[in-house]
Amino acid sequence: MTDRELEARLARAMADAAPDRLDDLLRVREGRRAPEGGGDNVTDIGEAQGRKRRSWRTLAAATAAALVLVLGGGGIFGWRYANAPDSLVAIDVNPSVQLTVSRNEKVLEAEALNADGAEIIDDMDLRGSGLNVAVNALIGSMVQHGYIDELRNSVLITVENSDEGKARALQDSLMADVEGLLAGNAVDAAVVGQTITTKDQELETLAAENNISEGKAALIQRIMAVDPTLKFETLAGLSITDLNLLAESKRADVTDMAVTGKASDKAYIGLERAGEIARAQLPGATLKKVEFDYDDGMVYEAELLLDGYEYELEIDAVTGAVLKWDWELDDDAPPPVSPSPSPKPVPGETAGPAPSTPPSVAPQPLPSPSTPTETPMPSPSERQYITEEAARALVLAEIPGAEFTEFKFERNDGRRIYKGEAVLERTEYEFKIDAATGEFIKWESERMDEDDWREHQEKQGGGPKDPSPSEYVGKKGAEDIVLAQLPGAQVGKIKLDKDDGRAVYEGKAWLNGWEYEFEIDAVSGEILDWDSEPMDD
């Protein structure tokens, strides 16, 4: 059992034990505020009630009653055993709302799982209303608040009930309801339904941590099963429409899900247009694949083939701008027809429709295999490899004025290559050059995001730094602080990082089968965070 599970069990037990005395408190408070209430003598409610110990069951009833009181809802609502929670119904669009539903399909509780969901529920009191009435109200509110329209048309319905047949029946009737409702609002809806019949602790935790429903978490897991490079936290922030598009594009396994309609991609330029943009970048190339994807935003990823090189382009799904692109010798391709492939992505020269934003990051590598005449001949022992200087010159010919951040000579698949990275105008280039031929075998360029750029500037000695690193306790100092807590521990690599703008040392340590994770203020040496977990769990 992990620390986390253990803590969760303790927390649950205590939370379950906590009685609800809000109604009593409000009464006492009211009395105290009333003009003739006077005095401060009613602090002990227990006494006032004759200190009768109530069973937990009646306390639950009191909770329910107290909540109705607070919410100012109608007085019809009562908690009876017959009205015990039966199914959980989650509705996700981007707002996530979860309804606890009784056997007779009455709503026992409506819970917003995220801020958008809270906006949707607003001050609606759904308790006690029939499930279809509640769903009607919620979907109506989502349309009204602009969360569902032609551009974002997908709704996820998840029904949780241990009885599979019941869950599926409820799912089907809800899906039909929602479709009908949206058709009435002139929205061509895509409704996705799924059932959950067994409790899944992992799913529950993921959902709670990310403020989404278990249903949405399950959908994200399906997508991540086919593309593990995606991050759960980022996908959690996407709308169901985007997730639906991703699931479709990545061919996630949705066999046991019910799907009607088609996720709208009208908010985006569309696959076809993305393909056109990609081809316009590289006239004559064969378009191998275009796929909807996520990379710091919704993008289309296009793969093209030309003269034995494989090109990959990333296109902003909203603006059509080329965000990133790279090319590599295509190992699977038959040897290029021309002996000297000369990939020339020249965006400006294309005849086709130009992207709305010129791909400023696209390099124009003109790898020329011709022997660099001005460089000294390599010595025979080095066979006929070009010198490092010549290789650097080749790169600088493409991106004059760039700074090298890395440059290496190494063996790669029996081939000698120069590889490295360079930065020019906030764009980072990665390259590999065949050391024998002087030919580029890889060229990749990417616009640096804020963090990378700042880090780069700092490394180059520029950029403002608040407390100067000379004031830091140092990695050794951080290690000593950890060892003071854990004498004899083995301390792993310590990393200097920024957390909310404050410099911190982060790392891990191990002692007696436990793993510790720590965060230490780089200036004060104060331990800011400390987590421990047994290593074998």
Partner 1 sequence: MLLFGLAAIEQQVFPGAAPALEDSLILDVAKGDTRAFSELYIRTHKSIYGFALSIVKNQQDAEDVMQDTYLKVDRAAGSYQPRGKPMAWLLTIARNLALERLRSRRDVPLEQEDWHLWSAEDPTQAQEDALVLEAAMELLGDEERQVVTLHALSGLKHREIAALLGLPLATVLSKYRRALMKLKHYLEEVEQA
- Report the residue number, 197 or 405, with the smaller CB distance to partner 1: 197
The binder of partner 1 chosen from 13, 34, 186, 351 (CB under 8 A): 13
Neighbours of 356 (CB within 10 A): 12
Out of 17, 82, 186, 351, the only residue in the binding site for partner 1 (CB under 8 A) is 17
Nearest CB to partner 1, comparing residues 158 and 387: 158
Cα separation of 265 and 153, whole Å? Answer: 9
State the minimum distance, in angstroms, from the CB of residue 390 to partner 1: 56
Cα(478)–Cα(528) distance, rounded to whole angstroms? 12
Residues in 120-179 at the binding interface with partner 1, rule: CB under 8 A: 121, 123
Residue 309, SS3 per DSSP: strand
The verdict on 535 binding partner 1 (CB under 8 A) reads no
Q: Does 20 bind partner 1 (CB under 8 A)?
A: yes
1 binds partner 1 (CB under 8 A): yes
Least CB distance to partner 1 at residue 168 (A): 22
Q: CB of 527: closest distance to partner 1 in angstroms?
A: 6
Cβ-in-10-Å burial (0-12, 13-18, 19+) of 55 comes to exposed
Q: Which range in 110-118, 144-152, 183-191, 356-364 contacts partner 1 by CB under 8 A?
A: 110-118
Distance in Å, CB of 122 to partner 1, minimum: 8
Q: Give the Cα separation of 197 and 167 in Å (integer).
A: 8
- Which listed residue (82, 186, 351, 484) binds partner 1 by CB under 8 A? 484
Confirm or reject binding of residue 19 to partner 1 (CB under 8 A).
yes
Residues in the chain: 537
Considering only residues 428 to 467 of the shown chain, the ones binding partner 1 according to CB under 8 A are: none
Q: What is the per-residue burial (b if ≥16 Cβ within 10 Å, else e) of 392-417?
A: bebbeebbeebeeeeeeeeeeeeebb
Q: Which of 235, 233, 264, 230 has the alpha carbon at shortest distance from 248?
A: 264
Please, where are the H alpha helices in 369-521? 388-398, 450-459, 474-485
Supply 277's token pair.
């943009």
Contact range with partner 1 by CB under 8 A, out of 105-113, 172-180, 232-240, 326-334? 105-113
Instruction: Give the CA dihedral 369, 373, 375, 381, nearest 10 degrees.
Output: 70
Which one of residues 41, 74, 78, 85 is an interface residue with partner 1 (CB under 8 A)? Answer: 85
**Complex with partner 1: residue 276 or 521, whichever CB lies closer:** 521
Q: Do the beta carbons of residue 367 and residue 343 sit within 8 Å?
A: yes
- Could you tell me which stretch among 51-59, 215-223, 231-239, 291-299 binds partner 1 (CB under 8 A)? 51-59
Q: Is 34 exposed, middle or buried (0-12, 13-18, 19+ CB in 10 A)?
A: exposed
Stretch that binds partner 1, among 65-73, 169-177, 244-252, 419-427 (CB under 8 A): 65-73
Q: Which one, 105 or 111, has the nearer CB to partner 1?
A: 111
34 near partner 1 (CB under 8 A): no
CB of 16 to partner 1, least distance (A): 5
DSSP string, 477-493: HHHHHHHHHSTTPEE--
d(CA 159, CA 194): 7
Kindly report the three-state secondary structure assignment for every residue of 319-345.
CCCEEEEEEEECCCCCCCCCCCCCCCC
Size of the site for partner 1 (CB under 8 A): 66
Q: Which stretch binds partner 1 (CB under 8 A): 11-19, 292-300, 301-309, 331-339?
A: 11-19
Using an 8 Å Cβ cutoff, are 451 and 334 in contact?
A: no
Q: Which of 35, 38, 57, 299 touches partner 1 (CB under 8 A)? A: 57
From 228, 276, 275, select the one nearest 250 (Cα to Cα): 228
Compute, in degrees rounded to 10, the torsion defined by CA atoms 527, 528, 532, 535. Answer: -90
- Amino acid found at 368: S
> Which stretch, 36-44, 144-152, 395-403, 436-444, contacts partner 1 (CB under 8 A)?
36-44
Site string for partner 1, 177-216 (x = CB under 8 A): ----------------------x-----x--xx-x-----
Return the sign of the alpha-carbon dihedral for residues 339, 340, 341, 347: negative
Site for partner 1 in 505-534 (CB under 8 A): 514, 526-530, 532, 534
Binder of partner 1 out of 371, 485, 490, 524 (CB under 8 A): 485
Among 34, 35, 38, 53, binds partner 1 (CB under 8 A): 53
Q: Are 273 and 355 in contact (CB under 8 A)?
A: no
Both tokens of residue 176? Answer: 């039909």
Closest C-alpha to 431, from 460, 464, 409: 409
Among 27, 31, 37, 45, indicate the residue that binds partner 1 (CB under 8 A): 45
Region binding partner 1 by CB under 8 A among candidate stretches 66-74, 329-337, 338-346, 421-429: 66-74
The answer to whether 341 and 440 are in contact (CB under 8 A) is no
Nearer to partner 1 (CB atom), residue 60 or residue 254:
60
Residue 238 CA to residue 114 CA, distance in Å, equals: 12
Cβ atoms of 117 and 92 within 8 Å: the answer is no
Taking contact as CB under 8 A, which single stretch among the options 4-12, 130-138, 168-176, 386-394 is the one that binds partner 1? 4-12
Q: Which is nearer to partner 1, 16 or 256 (CB)?
A: 16
The secondary element (H helix, E strand) that includes residue 409 is strand 403-412
For partner 1, the binding residues (CB under 8 A) are 1, 3, 6-22, 24-26, 28-29, 33, 40, 43-46, 51, 53, 55-57, 60, 67, 70-71, 84-85, 109-113, 115, 117-118, 121, 123, 199, 205, 208-209, 211, 484-485, 514, 526-530, 532, 534
